[in-house]
Amino acid sequence: MKILGIDSSGLVASAAVVEDDNLLAEYTVNYKKTHSQTLLPMIDEIVRMTELDLNTLDGIAVAAGPGSFTGLRIGSATAKGLGLALGKPLVEIPTLEGLAYNLYGTEKLVCPMMDARRNQVYTGIYEFRGEELTALMDQTPLSVAELAERLNETGREVILLGDGVPVYREILEKALRVPYAFAPAHMNKQRAGAVASLGLRYLACGKAVTAEEHRPEYLRMSQAERERAERAGSC
């Protein structure tokens, strides 16, 4: 089975092709250029490098949120367009799960976090039970202080990663009372290899949607909806 993985949920843009137990190609860029300009040229590059016939793909895995609203939509629209044109299913990988999967096999807890602005992170707490990635806390927007509290409650050693780490590192270092480590550069950001690899497992057990059905999971209302709900609540 062969799958294309896409992740443009955060600062990183990443594309990869995984066939069974092999990562055939991965292209990850963590640079200021907009994902809209980089993502498809990156896919094109790995397709050409691996002489991939897109029609031989079994599916397209996409980091489906949370993340930057615009970044998510660039990845989703790209995946939906490819899915529509190729008649292939999509596999929605929760962004935080994809991030956590970079640390496959660790006995420590894994806590990926993405900067969600407004003093919050999108985060979750995961552990590997055998081959299974299990969520102790599902992905959610949370204040950094609250996240530290949740981690302290587990009493377990944790590895922190994600683009929220450099933003909140000092706060975390002060607040954490459990042993912790920060994941190194090659595994601390979104990588489409992990998205594709996890996607392949999901696809094998039928966890796929049609290109038409897929939409990002933002985990947050738009500002206008939030303000409208607040107004409705106050009167």
CB 5 within 8 A of CB 61: yes
Q: Which is nearer to another protein, 177 or 228 (CB)?
A: 228
Token pair belonging to 206: 């039928």
Please state the closest distance from residue 164 (CB atom) to another protein, in A.
21
CB closer to another protein out of 80 and 191: 80
Residue 26 token pair: 């991965």
Does 37 bind another protein (CB under 8 A)? Our answer is yes
> According to CB under 8 A, which one of 50, 134, 228, 229 is a site residue for another protein?
228
C-beta of residue 80 within 8 angstroms of C-beta of residue 86: no
DSSP code for 177: -
117 binds another protein per the rule CB under 8 A: no
Instruction: For the CB of residue 216, give the shortest distance to another protein in the complex, in Å.
Output: 7
**Contact call for residue 179 and another protein (CB under 8 A):** no
Residue 104's CB: how many other CB atoms inside 10 A?
14
204-223 residues near another protein, rule: CB under 8 A = 211-212, 215-216, 218, 222-223
Tokens coding 222? 């738009």
Of 10 and 162, which CB lies nearer to another protein in the complex structure? Answer: 10
Given 16, 79, 142, 147, the residue binding another protein (CB under 8 A) = 79
Cα 196 versus chain centre, distance = 11
Residue 114 to residues 74, 164, 197, Cα–Cα distance (Å): 18, 4, 21
Size of the site for another protein (CB under 8 A): 35
| 41 makes contact with another protein (CB under 8 A) | yes
Q: 134: Cβ–Cβ under 8 A, 6 or more apart, which residues?
A: 126, 127, 128
Select the residue interacting with another protein from 50, 81, 119, 166 (CB under 8 A).
81
Positive or negative: CA dihedral 146, 148, 153, 156? positive
44, 138, 153, 173: residue in contact with another protein (rule CB under 8 A): 44
Contact call for residue 80 and another protein (CB under 8 A): yes
- Percentages helix, strand, coil for the chain (3-state, rounded to 5) are 40, 30, 30
What's the closest the beta carbon of residue 52 comes to another protein, in angstroms? 12
Q: Is 69 in the site for another protein (CB under 8 A)?
A: yes
Phi, psi of 21 (to 5 degrees): -95, 15
Residue 125's DSSP bridge partners are 137
Interaction between residue 203 and another protein (CB under 8 A): no
Question: Which residues of this chain interact with another protein, rule CB under 8 A?
Answer: 34, 36-41, 43-44, 54, 69-70, 73-74, 76-86, 211-212, 215-216, 218, 222-225, 228
